[in-house]
Amino acid sequence: MPTPPPTGPLCTRDSLAEQLRALGVRRGDTLLAHTSLSSLGWVSGGAEAVVLALFDCLGDEGTLVVPAQSSDNSDPAEWENPPVPASWWDTIRATMPAYDPRTARTRGVGVVPETVRTWPGAVRSAHPQTSFAAVGPRAEALMDGHALDCRLGERSPLARLERAGARVLLLGAGFDSCTAFHLAEYRLPAPLVENSFAVMTDEGRRWTTVREPSLTDDRFEELGADYERDRPVARGAVGAATARLFPLAEAVAYAEGWLAEHRPRTAGIEAGEA
């Protein structure tokens, strides 16, 4: 059976850059981008063209940041997609490679973040599960100091991006992908959970467990819809995708109030955790 022709529109580096500028992406911006390549249409050059278009808009003065999560470095007892037999768990914990920011592949965030992670000059933060990667003059400062017991809180790049006046770009991605909302979660009561991963220490590879607030993107789409209703959010078409652009700090502040009212949680130890 013949392969059906690709679905358009045809997007190029130049057409994407033109539409991103029209949306409001500016030279010198610090930009946290969440992207869906498949939502854009047919992109000549694929993910590389998308990254180059973003760099064309930001210029040499701008810094591009993407989520570079590697969630497979985690306790196999918690894996659901797919689960693995309980008889394997101890072996996986003993043999999972220690997180190496140079080589650990991204998982679940799309091909554009993986392209940025491997870009010449890219800097990646130190968390083995919820790292970010950045390219640009502010990359080192933004990625520094990502604590092992702070996935997306005050000692993560999100807080540094907030202080830096960064903006969030949702390029074909929904508000359920907006990691900035998780920074608001850290500022509200939440259950504590144990989080485990393999890291490299001065003594060599170690399977390490930390305790920190639990995170969930439950109701983030509803939160985002209310934020977009109540606050200025630039919205426009980039290729076939809907794109949104807004200040990170403003989104976090709104999320703090919204989550406290609409999705309150109780501090303590989450059920099933020791």
Give the CA distances from residue 252 to residues 100, 115, 151, 220, in Å, rounded to whole numbers and listed in that order: 30, 27, 16, 12
Residue 266 has a pLDDT of 84
| Predicted confidence (pLDDT) per residue in 237-260, tens digit | 999 999 999 999 999 999 999 999
Residue type, 205: R
Residue 39 has pLDDT above 60, yes or no: yes
Residues 6+ apart with CB under 8 A from 99: 70, 73, 126, 127, 128, 197, 198, 199, 200
* Calpha distance 231→217 (Å, rounded): 20
| Predicted confidence (pLDDT) per residue in 170-215, tens digit | 999 999 999 999 999 999 999 999 999 999 999 899 999 999 999 9
Residue 270 has pLDDT above 70, yes or no: no
* Calpha distance 189→200 (Å, rounded): 31
| Predicted confidence (pLDDT) per residue in 133-176, tens digit | 999 999 999 999 999 999 999 999 999 999 999 999 999 999 99
Q: How confident is the model at residue 268 (pLDDT cuts 50, 70, 90)?
A: low
Q: Mean per-residue pLDDT for 1-20?
A: 87
Express as a percent the part of the chain with pLDDT over 70: 96
- Residue pair 117/66 in contact (Cβ under 8 Å)? The answer is yes
Average pLDDT, the chain: 95
Residue 271 has a pLDDT of 45
Residue 272 has pLDDT above 60, yes or no: no
Q: How confident is the model at residue 1 (pLDDT cuts 50, 70, 90)?
A: low
Closest CA to 122 of 66, 173, 165: 66
Residue 269 has a pLDDT of 58
Helix axes 248-262, 220-230, angle to 10 degrees: 120
Q: Mean per-residue pLDDT for 81-98?
A: 96
Residue type, 8: G
| Predicted confidence (pLDDT) per residue in 107-133, tens digit | 989 999 999 999 999 999 999 999 999
Residue 222 has pLDDT above 70, yes or no: yes
